[in-house]
Amino acid sequence: MLDDQALMQALNSTPVSGGRRQDLWHDDREVDRWAREHGGLGGGQEREWLRTARDALQAVETGATTEPRLGRVLAGVRKVPQPFASGIEWRLEVPPERRLAVELVLAWADVKARMPGRLRPCENPECRLFLLDRSRANTARWCSMKTCGNRLKARRHQARARETPRPE
């Protein structure tokens, strides 16, 4: 099963660089590398399902009210209990090419349940990254204080400095 880190890697695979949106998963080799690192096989169908799941989750997290692509990713999926002496394990019944995409959606749902309100887009309107706020106060606003936070604070400071009349 995918974890929080894998979820954040997927969500943050469309950064803005030099003012332009990039899609790190546009390159098939990059998606296959990510898939293999997380137990997948790579391949065309798996890549397409992963991109679909990623795009749907990004849309939901940036405010889309409904996301039909999530329904397509999850269509026909079942979690079946498997009893063991130590307890119950849940086995996912899903076509192999869709397994990682489903696990990505389940990792997102798990984060939403365990950490409500903690997964959100960066508040820098020019940024396309997401953050998982692990701070005690749940007040993180930027994907990175070093980049987005400092940039926005510097811009606000410069705007205030321009508005403040200079003494003559």
DSSP string, 114-146: HSTT-EEE-S-TT---EEE--STT----SS-II
Domain boundaries, the chain: 4-163
Percent above pLDDT 90 for the chain: 70
pLDDT interval class at 17 (50, 70, 90): confident
Who wins on pLDDT, 149 or 116?
116
Hunting for tokens 């498997």 — which residue is that?
A: 82
Distances (CA, A) of 161 to 32, 35, 119, 146, 168: 49, 48, 33, 22, 15
pLDDT of the residue at 139 = 87
Q: What is the pLDDT of residues 89-147, one digit of tens each?
A: 999 999 999 999 999 999 999 999 999 999 999 988 888 899 999 989 998 888 877 77
What's the pLDDT band for 88 if we cut at 50, 70, 90?
very high
CATH code for residues 4-163: 1.10.3300.10
Tell me what the mean pLDDT of segment 9-33 comes to: 94
Q: What is the mean pLDDT of the chain?
A: 89
Report the pLDDT value the prediction gives residue 12, as an integer from 0 to 100. 96
Find the mean pLDDT for residues 1-29. Answer: 94
The model's pTM = 0.85
Write the CA distances from 29 to 9, 47, 54, 79, 167, integer angstroms: 16, 10, 17, 30, 59
pLDDT at 105: 97
